[in-house]
Each structure stands twice: as C-alpha cells, then as structure tokens.
Structure 1
Amino acid sequence: MKPANRRRIYLMRHGNVTYFDESGRPILPEAVPLNEQGRAQAEAAGRVFAADGVRFDRVIVSGLPRTVETAQGVLAQTGQDIALETWPELVEIRGGKLASIAEDKLREAFTGAFEGIVPEDKRFLNGESIGELMDRVHPALARLRAEDNWDTVLLVLHGGVNRAILSHALTGQRLYLGNLAQTAGCINALDVGDHAADWVVRFVNHAPPTVLQDDTRSTTMEILYEQYRKFRRK
C-alpha cells in the first residue's frame, strides 16, 4: 500500500488573557493582550515544539493581538524568523452587547454555544451564530488545504474557531461540537491528505505547562460568566 501523503496542521488557542477587570467590567476583546500567564503558556508551547525539532513553513494568526503575541512567543522559543500571516476570517466568534442580555438569559448566552452538538442558529452572547462562524471558517480551511506551499503549518486562533475546525475534522460534516475543550495556550495536531475527507486528528488540547489540567473543572465561558456576573450585580 502506498503511504499516505499527509501534511501537518498544528492548531493552537492563544494564551490566557484578562477579559474583565477586577470590578468585572469588560475589556475590549479586539484589543486585549496576553496576561503574564498567557505569555508563559506561549513560551511553554514553543519549548514543546523546539524540543521535538518542529519547523513551521507558515504561521497563520487571526490578527487579534492575543493570537499575534502567542505566535511570537512560540517562535521566540523555536528560533524561527517567520512573517506572520493574518487571516481575519479566522477571528473569534463575535459576541453582541453584554448589556443587552437579560439577567435570566445571561448564563445561556455565555455557555450555550459550547454545550453538546450546537445548532447553527445558536448565537454567542447575542452576536454571531454558530452557522455564521462556520460560513467563514470552513472556506478558509479549504483554501489553506488547497495551497501547496507548506508541509507543516502553525495556526494560532481561538477557542470557538478551533472547535469549528476540530468538529469538521472529527466528523467530516458541518457540525459544531461545543464540548471540545480548548484550554488557553493548548496545542492540537491534525494531519490532512489530498482528499477533502482525509483528516487524522492526532491529539487535542495538549496544554503545556499544565498538561494534566488539574487546576480547574470549569470551562472558560463558565469562568467568564462568573466574572461578569459580579459586575452586573453592582
């Protein structure tokens, strides 16, 4: 049998950021930088790649500062000088105005888009729907696969976007599996072949430096919901 001719996609979520200040007031998500923990996570991921001698042909980010900083932190450890490519269609799922969400709908608005098999009309924080997210992520992914100038690529993106990519890779369908954990700074590895259905998911949600992830049992959105609720109650 002829060996499969597959290429490797390393898919990361950006490192940790602080979305709400100490009072619970939201910080503009388009501008929020990595915090100290996030920078440490990016460096730890870079050391993992460096230890195995991984070399990237291309590095793609969404353009939001938290993805750019994470990619730069990784490359600083691998010693590669690669110009980052910005693909704005891979920005995180866009939320609406938090103040417009009724108190009794708040938890569902935060967590509902990341629970089970999520219907396409489900909206994240009264903003973009899951279907609208997939409408922009799936074509971008197909475009990347159609380009032949890479063997190993690093994508540094977002929790919601990563779920759209992983869900498609795992099922071969237009489905969104909300329960796929994407810890800040995590690494996923996917191999892709020439055929559209040729996906091999090697591993998911490897999160150095805390690979056992024993520091919490809550999801990112559950934590953010609790942080914001303190602000709403004032």
Structure 2
Amino acid sequence: MLRLLLARHGETKWNLEGRYQGQVDTELSDLGQTQGEKLGESLRVMPIDAVLASPLRRARETAEYCAKWHGLPVVADADLTEIAHGAWEGKLVAEVAHADGDRLTAWRTKPQTVTMPQGESLHDVARRVERALARYRTQYDGKTLLAVAHDAVNKVALCRILGLDLSHFWQIQQDNGCVNVLTYDGGWRVLAVNVNTHLGYLYSQTEQKSL
C-alpha cells in the first residue's frame, strides 16, 4: 500500500497580496516559513520514506522543513508544478478583472472551461497530476511519500482521486501549509483533506479567498 501525504506550500507575500503566482518562483514569507516548520513538526513521527516537491522555491522550501526531520533529500518533481497562469502572473485580482474580466468570471464559475492566456488549463494540470499519481503507485508501493505542491495541483489531484469532474475545483479548499492524507491499495482512498490543525492560530491569519 502507498500512503501519500499531499501538502500545499506555506504562505508567500503574493498569497497575502492576492496576486496570481502560477509558475513565478516566489519564496515563502516569514509566516510561510513558520507554517513550513509547523508542518514538518506535525509529520516528524510519520515514517516518511521519500520527499518530493514542485521545483518552485515555495514548495521546495516547505518540503525542506519536513525532510530535515527524516534525514531525507527533497527530490524535484516537475509534474507537481503549479498551473501556469500565463499573462495573469504577477497581477492582482483587480488588475486581471480590469484587463480580462470575462475570462476571470469564467475561471471562477466554470474553471474547467478556461485556458489561461499564454498559460495552462486545468486539463493540462490534470495530465501532469495523473502521470505523477501513476508513477507514485508503482515507484513508492509499500512506502509513505510526502509530496509538496500547490493549490491548483492539489485540488485537481483530489478531484481525480474522488472521481469528480473538474467543475468541482472550487469546492475543495487547500490552505497554505495544509496536508491531505491518501492511500492507494488497488484503488485510492481519501483519509483526510486540508488538515491544518498543526497551524493553530496561524490558520486564521492566512485564510484567503482562492484565486
């Protein structure tokens, strides 16, 4: 059986500002670093065998806070990279609403229909996620794997595992520094979603509207 701990990176300054990040390589804020530390501490007693992360710095840094408890390296997995927001990257929500309002409305109401300008769609992300999950089932069978990724990546993964259409994307919450607990033993099971109790008071400070 595979046990997969699928986490989201800690907060960044752009998360706090409400700015689209996508594949821009932002770093953790001071609070995000604390969230990474808390996540690592909460998983320190878990018998983790391997740690993977998106190549983006915010995910890698979060993973390092966890990996140090187990003496493990953080291995980059490009399939975990956040959705490419394309021309939206670096822009505030208000700026996107002004420049590309119709697409933003569609993104918030029918996300499965949208391709980001010069970027990706959720279906593009799903192809990467499905490839990663298939790899994990064979490569890490019998092991516990920690994978640190991003908001859109995690939501798409949970949609696929739960058998949900991508139209349900916004019905899944993924807070900065959260972890999801999944197993695979002939089929996927979801044991816990968006676990954030380890963050304590840090959770309420970072509750943001998903972009």
TM-score interval, smaller chain? 0.7 to 0.9
Equivalent pair of 2:53/2:148 in contact (CA under 8 Å): yes
Normalising by structure 2, report the TM-score: 0.82
- Structure 2 distance, partners of 1:174, 1:73, is 33
In 1: Cα distance, 2:161 partner to 2:22 partner:
31
Query: Residues 204 and 106 from structure 1, CA distance in 2 versus in 1: closer, same or farther, beyond 3 angstroms?
Result: same
Matches within 5 A, 1:24-173: 29-50=23-44, 53-76=45-68, 79-98=69-88, 103=98, 105-106=100-101, 109=104, 112-113=106-107, 115=109, 118-119=111-112, 121-124=113-116, 127-148=119-140, 150-171=142-163
Q: 1:206 aligns with which of 176, 195, 201?
A: 195
Task: For residue 169 of structure 1, give the secondary structure of its aligned residue in structure 2.
Answer: helix
Flag the 1:130–1:83 CA change in 2: closer, same or farther, 3 A: same
Q: Percent identity?
A: 28
Counterpart CA distance in 2 for 1:174 and 1:107 is: 22
CA contact (8 A) 1:19 1:29 kept: no
Tell me how far apart the structure 2 counterparts of residues 35 and 82 of structure 1 sit (CA, whole Å): 24
Question: Residues 92 and 200 from structure 1, CA distance in 2 versus in 1: closer, same or farther, beyond 3 angstroms?
Answer: same
SS in 2 for 1:82: coil
Q: How many equivalent pairs are there?
A: 204
Match of 2:8 in 1: 13
User: Residues 149 and 8 of structure 1: is their aligned pair in 2 closer, same or farther, counting only changes over 3 Å?
Assistant: closer
More helix by share: 2
RMSD: 3.1
Does the residue aligned with 2:199 lie in a helix, a strand or coil?
coil
* Unmatched tracts of structure 1, length 5 or more: 1-5, 222-234
In 2, Cα distance between the equivalents of 1:74 and 1:112? 37
